[in-house]
Chains A and B, each alone.
Chain A
Amino acid sequence: METKTVQTHHVPVRYFEGGPSSGKGGEPLVYLHGAGGITAEDPFLAKLAESYHVYAPLLPGYGDSEECGELREMLDITLHSWDVVDALGLKDPILVGHSMGGMIAAEMAAIAPNDVSRLGLICPAGLWLDDHPIPDIFAMLPYELPAVLFHDVEAGTALMTAGVTLDDPEWLKGFLVQNARQMGMAGKILFPVPDRGLSQRLYRVKAKTVLVWGDGDKLIVPAYAHAWKKAIGGAEFVSIPEAGHLMTLEKPEHVAKAISRLA
């Protein structure tokens, strides 16, 4: 994947781009990342780029991208995300989002239903069920996260702690800065309860929709998949066995295969 920058009204936006660019398999796909962010080496992006021309923009503050104080509310973020699609010169790309990114993608499809014809939602945030309160990731210590994010907690822990050197104060400062930038931005969308009224708008979605859920998701449990299916008429539901919330890392091939149902 190449790392590029595109100018939008509010802020320059970093994005990763890759995949075939014309003919079969060259169809544009915009992928919106979750609260943990994404890198150019992400295995799920690589998998998608085998079949699509992938654009994966970073939310302001993620990775090395510039922060944007002007984005405060969900509407600001939804419209900014449309600004990014426009700036990339895309019309009706396949729109896919994971977790927080799924929430943004669903908001985009609800606010502009005639501009999104294919929507892939991978365990999206955005709904709240009182019987299934979503754990507060903003109040978790790093070592507590793998247990709610992965099906295979041990492998997930190894993945999350690779390169971590907590006893190095410079590393720690860098980590805190990155966490403040990224999760500070995510907090505008997800804190303290990840519901910004989307359930009232989902009836507007016209896109062909695929919902992908890990059957071992402990963060946004599969009960939410049913709520989404109910809210978006005709949505297709694909359950991935032995996959947790970060199934794009755990089962990239399975998730990509589910997304291919949109084609």
Chain B
Amino acid sequence: MKFTWFNLMPWPYLPDDFREKHRSVWVDIDSRLFDPAKGHEVYNSYMDMLEYAGTLGFDGIGVNEHHQNGYGIMPSPNIIAAGLARRTSDVGLVVLGNSIALYNPPTRVAEEFAMLDCISGGRLVAGFPVGTSMDTNYCYGQIPALTREKYQEAHDLIRRAWSDPDPFAWNGRYNKLRHVNIWPRPIQDPPPIHIPGGGSVETYDFCIDNTYSYSYLSFSGYIRAKALMQGYWDRVAERNAPDESPYRAGFAQTICVADTDEEAERLYSEHVSYFYNRCLHVYGGFADAPGYRTIKTIQTGALSQYAPPVGGYSELTWKDLIDQGHVIAGSPETVRQRMEDLIKGLNVGNVFCLMHVGNMPMDKCMHSTKLFAEKVMPHLRDMFPDYKDDDRFWCKPLAKQVKPGSLPVEKEVAALVGGKD
């Protein structure tokens, strides 16, 4: 199993009456709710938390990209990942991912990911999302019906930019580049690639054909995800993929661990409520620009990645959220059992653990994270013994890694020119 401690980086100061006074947490969220001085604290504490998780035995620490979004203040996950690369070791850096259709030219992603891979010593796990309609169309102005074609071209360009040893010309529909020749190059050839998807058959096939891991990053939990993931596994079988390795898939799950089930509710319910009520308060008009999804996807009736349950999240109590699997919370034993259901039920080898929830303070987040790492994760390590050697979907760091602080001491520098201290 590969466990990634994932942080969306929510803004923790949305007001109590956010739902009533504001129409959306995303796209046109009121900029006056953002306080840059508080932002200084928020970013640094979130990065501290990611680094802390990196010391507890998680396989990866994860970041992602959103724009104009009150629950995800990471327009550039690469900036965060660069900071993390310096202050962590061994743990994978899961950047899930860069919305490659938004970079002009997309060789920028090839370059930045290569930089991250070099700085971190080959610890990059790369993600290439199409991007949500909110980010891609409404914030970044991409024409919905052309987004997928542009994404596809960006993907092909990045892969070639990583692998072709010689300069080449790229005469694409969306990118015209006479001299593609990126410096630096990634250590991994190529870095493992994970593709977030929301149920479209085209994305299933894209992952299967390229040996990419398909990630379903929903907030609605593992029970509601079963139909979608089954669709993926059916497609894996139909398309005669050489194996059904669980590492071909990943899933994001909100998880809160405490000493007992009751304690979990007492410690975390207000923060879970903050997330589901304020952070997921997205104006419906921004959910899905017409043309963004393919007709085939709509016709298959695939659930929208952000479709709230009937009645909306705001109606759900702590008990509802737990019973319906939106959130896995409780004692280490309760969480272990439900994680087993998740992992077996969805057949996923990659789990993106959403352990910082809403406006959760760092002490509670550390408590929950540590309990998961020490009392849950070790029991879930060998869920798929048949595939324990499948390393196709994870990073392969250099055996010998440079650590920060490798400069010679000043005395040695002085000795270079015959100086004395």
Contacts and interface: CB of A to CB of B under 8 A. Distances in A.
Contacts, number: 64
Interface stretch (B31-39, B135-143, B187-195, B402-410): B135-143
Interface string A139-182: 11100100000000000000000000000000001001101111
Contacts of A177: 295, 298-299
B143 A181 contact: no
B207 to A, nearest CB: 23
Given A191-B143, A191-B144, A184 B285 contact: no
B298 A180 contact: yes
A138 B290 contact: yes
Contacts of A191: 137, 141, 143-144, 289, 291
A247 B57 CA distance: 65
Contacts of A180: 290-291, 293, 295, 298
B308 to A, nearest CB: 14
Interface string B24-43: 00010000000000000000
B289 A138 contact: yes
B290 A192 contact: no
B413 interface: no
Contacts of B146: 72, 188
A187 interface: yes
B275 to A, nearest CB: 24
A193 B293 CA distance: 20
A179 B138 contact: no
A192 B136 CA distance: 11
B298 A192 contact: no
A191 B137 CA distance: 9
B227 interface: no
Interface in A186-206: 186-188, 191-193
Nearest to A138: B289
B318 interface: no
A183 interface: yes
A181 B144 contact: no
B311 interface: no
Contact of A182 (B137, B284, B290): B290
A187 B138 contact: no
B286 interface: yes
Given A141-B284, A187-B290, A181 B295 contact: yes
- Of residues A176, A183, A185, A191, which shows the largest number of chain B Cβ atoms within 10 Å of its Cβ? A191
Nearest to B141: A192
A187 B291 contact: yes
B291 A184 contact: yes
A167 to B, nearest CB: 11
A220 B301 CA distance: 35
Given A138-B289, A180-B298, 18 more contacts: A72-B173, A138-B137, A139-B283, A139-B289, A140-B285, A176-B298, A179-B290, A180-B293, A181-B295, A184-B291, A184-B292, A185-B145, A186-B290, A187-B145, A188-B291, A191-B137, A191-B144, A192-B138
Interface of A: 67, 69, 72, 138-141, 144, 173, 176-177, 179-188, 191-193
13 contacts: A67-B295, A139-B27, A141-B284, A144-B285, A179-B290, A180-B298, A181-B295, A183-B291, A184-B145, A184-B290, A186-B290, A187-B290, A192-B141
The 9 closest A-B pairs by CB, nearest first: A184-B291, A183-B290, A184-B145, A139-B285, A192-B141, A187-B291, A179-B290, A187-B144, A180-B290
